[in-house]
Every structure is written in C-alpha cells, then in structure tokens.
Amino acid sequence: MPRMILKWLEAWACAFGVIFLGLFAAGSAGSSPGHLSFGIGNLFAVDPATAVALPGGQRVSFRLKFMSEFKPVAGLSSAAWGKMVEAVRSDFARTGDQVDAWKTVQALEAQPSVTRPEKALRDHSHDLGTGIVALPAQGREAILIGFVDGRWGWVTIDRRTNCAVILGPDLPGCGRHQITDQRAYDMAALDPKQSDGRVYVPVRASSGRSDSYVFEQ
C-alpha cells in the first residue's frame, strides 16, 4: 500500500510540474531579457464583469477607476515620451532619487514633474500633458506617467535601467507587462485619495528651463 501511495504522489507531482512549466513558458514568451512575465500571473487577469474603460477603450481593473476620471489631452508625442523615458532611465540609474543631479532630464525640452506617488495625481494632474515621475521614498522603482498622443502612458523603471511598459506605446529596450489585478492593486498607489506626501517641483531659471529640482514642503 505505501508503494502505491508513493507512485500516486509521484504522478501528481509530474502533472503539476508540467502545468507549472506551461504557465511559465506562456507568460515568458515575447518578454525581453530582465522582464520575464510569470505566466501564472495570467490566472489573476482582470475580471471583465468589473472592468472599467480608460480613454482609448482599454478595459482595466476596477481598482484603476480613478484613471478614467482624468480627461485626456494630446500630451506628449510618442517620440518625446520615448526620450523622456530614456532620460529617466539614465538619471535614475546614475543618481537614484537625487533629482537635483538629473541633468539628462533637465535638458529635455518637455520636462516632467517629479513627485511622490501619493501626490502625483492629487496635486499634479495638470502636468499629465508633460509627464510626471512618481518616485517613492527610498524606492527601487520610478514610475513615469502622462498622456501620450491622447492616451495614458505608464512606464516603470528600476535602478538597473530595466523598464516595463504598462500603458502606452512600445519602447525600445522595455518589456510590456499585462495589467493583472495584482498589478492594478500596485498601480492604485497613485490614486489621488491616498495619503499625503512631499513633492519635487522644477525650479525655473530666467530662461524658462529647469536648472534643478527641490522638495516642495
């Protein structure tokens, strides 16, 4: 009898392994290096019964309903958005949250505001047309949001220059992540109803360009 039970357990283990590897392969297919999307996450995809529509028609988790409350503007072009993402990747990897040293970002024609996630949309939604960088305190990941060609753009960037497109056009060197319910939960950290925080704002020089960033108290 014990031998029969052992064989039964071995059979179930093999079956589970096959399913596990299949989910991993399905989720990883098409992902760029450093941006593997674990396939089992697809089991937690958005429930169509409770999904909400964003400008442009994409349906996302009800957790992101707050995003549908912002009227889209033309915003940045895809080209300008791509340059901004590359600038943030470069500066964030080089100096982290020392934004006064973000020289590549400061050299952009259209410069984003840099803020804490909890204040990005609550106090700075008027900057969506030129981009907002949500930078968690001591965080390992920066979040760049804005309107790109009239639709939401959302990209995450880590200190190793890895980036992932959540919403918006595909970008060279960035993977694309599906908005599962768990990811929507994480994205809801930018919900304007979140708690208070401090904000980085550009300090404008007489030329109209930003020479540095400072904390807004």
> Which residue ranges make up each domain of the chain?
1-30, 38-216
Task: Give the CA-trace dihedral at 160, 164, 168, 171, to 10 degrees.
Answer: 60
Parallel, antiparallel, or unpaired: how do β-strands 141-148 and 151-158 relate? antiparallel
Stretch among 56-70, 100-114, 143-157, 164-178 having the lowest mean pLDDT = 56-70
DSSP single-letter state for residue 51: -
User: Tell me, what's the pLDDT at 79?
Assistant: 97
Direct distance between the N- and C-terminal alpha carbons of the chain, in angstroms, rounded to an integer: 72
For residue 152, the surrounding DSSP H or E stretch is: strand 151-158
Question: How many CB atoms neighbour CB 13 within 10 A?
Answer: 10
User: Tell me, what's the pLDDT at 45?
Assistant: 60
Give whole-number Cα distances, 175 to 63, 83, 172, in Å.
23, 16, 8
Q: Does residue 61 or residue 164 have the better pLDDT?
A: 164
pLDDT confidence tier of residue 52, bands split at 50, 70 and 90: confident
| CB neighbour burial string for 25-35, b if at least 16 within 10 angstroms, e if fewer | eebeeeeeeeb
